Amino acid sequence: MSKQTTTQIESPYINLESACKYLGIAKATMYKKTSEKTIGFFKPGRKILFSVSELQSYVESHRVRTQSEIETEACTRLLTQK
């Protein structure tokens, strides 16, 4: 007797609902971001898909600096200005 095994392929792309859960935002917000083209997406036919790695990059690009980082940058700029 042979065992049947199925290989499950994990896609690097997720649908709109999963992307909303990943980012913790509402569908309406995600639709607004796609219509304004402020977030990258793929549209094969009628579906809207998102790359997980691009969503991660999107989140990381919106990082807010700490007060310490801002102060360090300000001091560096003041010292390098002549």
pLDDT at 9: 76
pLDDT at 8: 75
Query: pLDDT means per 10 residues in the chain (82 residues)?
Result: 65 95 97 96 95 96 94 92 76
Q: What are phi and psi of 44, to 5 degrees?
A: -80, 100
pLDDT at 10: 82
DSSP sequence for the chain? ------PPPPPSEEEHHHHHHHHT--HHHHHHHHHTT-S--B-STT--EEEHHHHHHHHHTTPPPPHHHHHHHHHHHHHH--
